[in-house]
Amino acid sequence: MKLKYILIICSLLCAATVMSQTVYHVHATKGNDAHDGKSWSKALATLQMALDKTQPGDTVYVAAGTYHPTRRTGETLAHEPNPKTTDRHRSFIIRGYIHLYGGFPVDATDQTTIKDRDWKTHRTILSGDFNGDDGTDFSNMNENAYHVLVLFDVESSTEIDGFTITGGNADGANSVLMNHMPVVSEYGGGIYAYTTHKDILPKLSHLTIEGNRAAKNGGGIFIYANSNEASFSIRHSTIRRNQSGGSGGGIFNCGKRVASPRLENVLIIGNQAQQEGGGFYSLCEDLVSAPHLTNVLIAGNAAYNGGGMFCYSFAGNVTPSLTNVTICGNRAVAEGGGIACLAGKNWTKIGTSSPMFSNTIIWDNQAPLGYPNLYNNGAKGSMPTMHKSYIEGEPVPFIDELKTNDFTRIAQGFVSHVAPGFAPTTAGDYQLNQNSPFIDKGKNIHWSIETDLAGNPRIYGKSIDLGAYEYQGHNPKDAGIIEEHYRIWASHGQVTIQLDRPATIRIYTIDGQLIRQYNNEKEGTKIVNLPNGIYLISLNGEGKAKVIVY
């Protein structure tokens, strides 16, 4: 009987806990900060107002629209004589354990539920661009917020889902203290996340993080665990066209003891760092740097070392795990155009570097000083583990049973790819075509996610394919003919088409509307200026190739 009463009491306590959790609603145009925010009809107007109301476990729903930060991270700077902060110190501030969801329709009513959320259709934008005038070349950003989002002591239950995060410009020279923790204005233009004594483990999903910059580290995302583990997760997201003056143009992740972020179904494209890790940088100071990547495309990024990705441990081991990853078209000024792994190369002289590649493609990257695709070095040894993966230019054992050195065939293994020398860029389509040698060449034992990066079924055929995309049994009509006779890339508002035979060029919007046509263009180079966007290009009506103009 006592056990029965104990169970009843526990059930009531759990029910009370669930019932006490509150959902707040935010609407940019229909909201009012005098409301309580507990329904769409009583929505708040500013996101920070809702964030300030939340208790651990609460949820915030945000309707489509553009939202700018309204609250400063502090009133004074963290140095003598404590001068005042400015409006550039405004950020969206998140503490602890909450759920933040964007993507709700602008016509949301009290009958709208989370099932009505569509983050692609109902774009919910968190912007640090107060004047709304940012250029694609990072111009006009002098008034922008140093950080769009600031996260403190966020746990594994903290969720941020369904937003575009843009316009952060972390180019300051000072820091602010919040709860005795620093907010450094040179790091983390898009997201700045910091913890002193806890692990930092937020869940990020369905995000587009683009057009952010930092004077030092983490143009798009900066994650730092000062004492423990930095192991955030990011899924179904795009990290695009971010920039840093230090390391981690797209993502910078650092844990004192462990750095083990998990990336699934993520595009990291067109980012740039002046030092290491143009797309992604993972650092552990003590034990192990072990990021896990599945269904990830890293393309068109640039850095001094590790153009696509850089993994480093001061005094421990480096053991990244890459499964069905495509790393292509990245560029390093020095070494490791695609990926660089470095362990223990400091005064300790300890640590091994042992990356694991499964069903992965590393190809067509550049590094003038050597190791264009993979640079791997550990003070106490370095040995990659390869499972059904292809690394261009490496000895046969690294190819791991994909017995081909036919570069032409490999080059034609994609629908289209980035022209060498044009990194950083967001152009390129790395889906496999019907002639690809990577089809059905993977190992199913490494398969853990039901879909590929494009959302298609992961296994089509007798075995899993290599890379981030699964061939679905068809390509646009005669795509092979298009590949054979052209090269195409996009950079800084221009599409460049290189022809080796005359052709009629047609350019369509992504929804199929014809916007440009050039009849009987002679062989040579055709340059077309286009606004930012995604376009389909057809030659003589023979299939369509997709490009992204930024």
> Residue 518's domain is classified under what CATH number?
2.60.40.1930
Examine the domain organization and report whether 465 and 448 are in the same domain: yes
Examine the domain organization and report whether 136 and 285 are in the same domain: no
In-domain check, residue 131: yes
Burial class (CB in 10 A: 0-12, 13-18, 19+), 399: middle
Q: SS3 of 5, please? A: helix
Examine the domain organization and report whether 334 and 422 are in the same domain: yes
Number of structural domains the chain divides into: 3
Examine the domain organization and report whether 107 and 34 are in the same domain: yes
Predicted pLDDT at 402: 37
pTM of the model: 0.81
What are the mean pLDDT values of the chain's consecutive 10-residue runs (550 residues total)?
A: 46 46 96 97 98 95 98 78 86 92 97 94 97 91 97 85 98 85 93 83 94 98 85 93 97 87 94 96 86 95 96 87 94 93 71 88 88 85 82 52 38 46 59 81 83 88 90 53 56 72 84 85 84 78 66
Predicted pLDDT at 20: 60
Phi/psi of residue 128, each to 5°? -90, 5
Q: Are 270 and 424 in contact (CB under 8 A)?
A: yes
Q: Which of 147, 28, 51 is nearest to 90 (CA)?
A: 147
In-domain check, residue 463: yes
In-domain check, residue 206: yes
Which amino acid is present at 76?
T
Among 245, 275, 309, residue at a domain's last position? 245
Q: Are 291 and 414 in contact (CB under 8 A)?
A: no
In-domain check, residue 251: no
Among 182, 217, 245, residue at a domain's last position? 245
Examine the domain organization and report whether 436 and 503 are in the same domain: no
Token pair, residue 397, equals: 């054992």
Examine the domain organization and report whether 128 and 37 are in the same domain: yes
Q: What is each CA distance from 398 to 310, 337, 389, 395, in whole angstroms?
A: 20, 17, 7, 6
Q: Which of 203, 59, 51 is nearest to 126 (CA)?
A: 51
Examine the domain organization and report whether 376 and 326 are in the same domain: yes
Examine the domain organization and report whether 529 and 462 are in the same domain: no
In-domain check, residue 5: no
333: which residues sit within 8 A by CB, 6+ positions away?
303, 304, 305, 367, 368, 369
Q: SS3 of 473, please? A: coil
CA angle 331, 335, 337 (to 5 degrees): 25
Predicted pLDDT at 155: 75
Predicted pLDDT at 238: 95
Q: Which of 381, 441, 387, 379 is nearest to 409 (CA)?
A: 441
In-domain check, residue 184: yes
Q: Are 355 and 376 in contact (CB under 8 A)?
A: yes
Examine the domain organization and report whether 76 and 185 are in the same domain: yes
Examine the domain organization and report whether 218 and 315 are in the same domain: no
Predicted pLDDT at 480: 37
In-domain check, residue 330: yes
Distance, in Å, from the CA atom of 509 to the CA atom of 506, rounded to the nearest integer, reads: 10
Examine the domain organization and report whether 455 and 497 are in the same domain: no
Examine the domain organization and report whether 104 and 85 are in the same domain: yes
Give the structural domain span for 333: 261-475
Predicted pLDDT at 123: 96
Length of the chain: 550
In-domain check, residue 7: no
Among 440, 475, 510, residue at a domain's last position? 475
